[in-house]
C-alpha cells in the first residue's frame, strides 16, 4: 500500500516538473536519505484536511536555478527567486498529490511553502519517499501523513 | 480592446509566470496590476480599473476565496471577471468558487489554457447566446 502512495507521489512530481519547467525525471528505486551535499534547497508544505501532514522536497541549488530559469526566463535568478520557484513547484505537486490520495471531494488547507532550513523535524515517520533523477541532479520527496490509514484508501 | 488585468498571488515567481503567460496567450493587454494577497488586491481594485482578476486561493492575510466573496459583495466590483488559478484539487471548493461566478484554471497551466479561458469568458461577457450572465469587461472610455 505504501508503494501505491509512492507511485502517486512520483506521478504528481514527475508530471509537474515536466509540465512547468520541462525537466524530465526518472524514479530511482529504493531511495536512501539524500546526502547533505544534495540538500542545498528544501521546502516543507503542510496540509490539513481529512488527514494531516506535510510534504518535504529537497534538491541541489542547480535544480532550483533551472526551475527558476524555466519559469521566469531572463537574467540569472536571485537566491530568493530560486527559493520561490522551488516553493511554487512544491505547491503545485502538493495540490496535485492530495486529490490523487484522498479523492477530489475533500477539502484541504495547504500552508505556504516554507524553507526547510532551521525547521524542527516532523514528529511522524515518512509515509512515502521518492527520489527523482534528472540531468540536473537528484530531487527527493518525502511525504508525511499523521495517523493515515493507507490501506483503507488505496 | 486592451484588457486591464490584476494578478493576485503571494508568490512573486508565480505572478511573473502568470504575466509571462498573459503576454504569450494572444490577448491584447492593457495595464497589468499585481497584488500579493486579497487585502492588497481590494486596495488596488478601489483605485484602478481592472477588467479581469486572476487570483490564487492560498494566500496570507486574505485568501482567494475570501477575496472573491468581498468582490461579489461590493457593488463596484461585483461584475468583475475572475479566474481562479490554483493548485486546488477539491471539486467541492472549486464548485464553491464557480458558484460565485469565477472560472477555474488548475496549475500547472499553459498560456494556451489561460488564453482559452479568457476568450471564453469574454465571449460570455459579450453575449454569445450561451445564456450565461453578461458581465461588463471594459471600463469607461479614456
What ipTM score was computed for the predicted complex, to two decimals? 0.74
CB-side neighbour CA atoms (13 Å) of A82: 17
Question: B98: which 3 cell numbers?
Answer: 464557480
State which H helix or E strand residue B65 sits in. Answer: helix B64-73
Q: What pLDDT score was predicted for residue A35?
A: 57
Query: How many Cβ contacts (< 8 angstroms) between chains A and B?
Result: 65
CB < 8 Å from A in window 60-99 of B: 60, 86-93
Residue B140: pLDDT over 60: no
Residue B114 lies in a domain: yes
Please give the pLDDT value at position B124: 61
The percent of residues above 70 in pLDDT, for chain B, comes to 87
Domain that holds residue B98: 3-125
pLDDT at A39: 64
Would you call A90 an interface residue with chain B, using a CB distance cutoff of 8 Å? Answer: no
pLDDT at B85: 94
pLDDT at B83 over 50: yes
Instruction: Determine which of B24, B63, B87, B106 to mutate to test the interface with A (most A C-beta atoms within 10 Å).
Output: B87
Evaluate whether residue B134 is within a structural domain. no
Query: Does the structure show a pLDDT above 90 at B22?
Result: yes
8-state DSSP, B104: E
> Please, what is the Cα angle at B89 between B84 and B92, to 5 degrees?
85
From chain B, the residues in CB contact with A88 under 8 A are 11, 13-14, 17
Domain CATH code at residue B11: 3.40.50.2300
Helix intervals (H) in A73-128: 79-102
A86-126: per-residue pLDDT in tens? 999 999 999 999 999 988 888 888 988 999 888 888 888 89
Q: Please provide the CATH number assigned to the domain covering A2-153.
A: 3.40.1550.10
Give how many domains chain B has, as a whole number: 1
State residue A125's pLDDT score: 87
Give which of A85, A93, A97 to mutate to test B binding, by max B Cβ within 10 Å: A85
Assign B5 a pLDDT band (cuts: 50, 70, 90).
Answer: very high
pLDDT digits (tens, 9 = 90+) for A125-141: 899 999 999 888 889 99
Q: Show residues of chain A in contact with B108, CB under 8 Å.
A: 16, 19-20, 92
Residue B39 belongs to some domain of the structure: yes
Taking the complete model, does pTM exceed 0.90, yes or no? no
Taking CA atoms, B97 is separated from A58, A95, B29, B88, B121, in Å, by 33, 16, 25, 11, 15
pLDDT score recorded for residue B128: 42
Question: pLDDT band at B129, cuts 50/70/90?
Answer: very low
- Domain boundaries in chain A? 2-153
The band of A58, judged by pLDDT with boundaries at 50, 70 and 90, is: very high
Evaluate whether residue B138 is within a structural domain: no
Q: Within a domain: residue B18?
A: yes
**Cβ-based contacts of B16 with chain A (< 8 Å):** 71-72
Residue at B140 is within a domain: no
How many C-beta atoms lie closer than 10 Å to residue A125's C-beta? 9
pLDDT at A79 over 90: no
Q: Give me the pLDDT at residue A1, please.
A: 46
Amino acid at each position: 500500500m505504501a508503494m501505491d502512495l509512492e507511485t502517486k507521489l512520483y506521478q504528481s512530481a514527475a508530471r509537474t516538473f515536466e509540465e512547468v519547467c520541462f525537466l524530465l525525471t526518472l524514479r530511482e528505486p529504493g531511495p536512501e536519505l539524500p546526502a547533505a551535499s544534495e540538500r542545498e534547497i528544501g521546502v516543507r508544505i503542510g496540509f490539513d484536511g481529512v488527514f494531516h501532514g506535510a510534504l518535504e522536497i529537497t534538491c541541489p541549488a542547480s535544480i532550483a536555478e533551472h526551475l527558476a530559469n524555466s519559469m521566469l526566463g531572463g537574467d540569472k535568478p536571485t537566491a530568493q527567486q530560486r527559493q520561490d520557484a522551488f516553493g511554487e513547484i512544491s505547491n503545485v505537486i502538493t495540490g496535485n498529490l492530495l486529490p490523487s490520495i484522498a479523492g477530489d471531494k475533500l477539502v484541504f488547507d495547504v500552508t505556504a511553502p516554507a524553507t526547510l532550513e532551521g525547521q524542527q523535524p516532523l514528529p511522524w515517520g515518512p509515509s512515502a519517499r521518492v527520489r527523482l533523477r534528472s540531468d540536473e541532479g537528484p530531487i527527493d520527496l518525502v511525504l508525511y501523513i499523521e495517523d493515515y490509514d493507507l490501506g483503507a484508501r488505496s | 480592446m486592451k484588457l486591464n488585468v490584476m494578478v493576485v498571488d503571494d508568490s512573486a515567481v508565480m505572478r511573473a509566470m502568470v504575466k509571462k503567460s498573459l503576454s504569450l496567450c494572444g490577448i491584447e493587454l492593457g495595464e497589468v496590476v499585481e497584488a500579493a494577497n486579497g487585502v492588497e488586491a481590494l486596495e488596488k481594485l478601489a483605485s484602478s480599473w481592472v477588467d479581469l482578476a486572476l487570483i490564487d486561493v492560498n494566500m496570507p492575510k486574505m485568501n482567494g476565496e475570501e477575496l472573491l466573496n468581498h468582490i461579489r459583495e461590493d457593488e463596484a466590483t461585483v461584475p468583475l471577471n475572475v479566474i481562479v488559478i490554483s493548485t486546488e484539487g477539491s471539486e467541492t471548493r472549486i464548485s464553491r468558487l464557480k458558484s460565485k461566478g469565477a472560472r477555474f484554471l488548475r496549475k500547472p497551466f499553459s498560456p494556451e489554457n489561460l488564453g482559452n479561458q479568457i476568450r471564453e469568458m469574454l465571449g460570455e461577457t459579450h453575449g454569445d447566446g450561451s445564456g450565461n450572465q453578461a458581465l461588463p469587461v471594459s471600463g469607461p472610455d479614456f
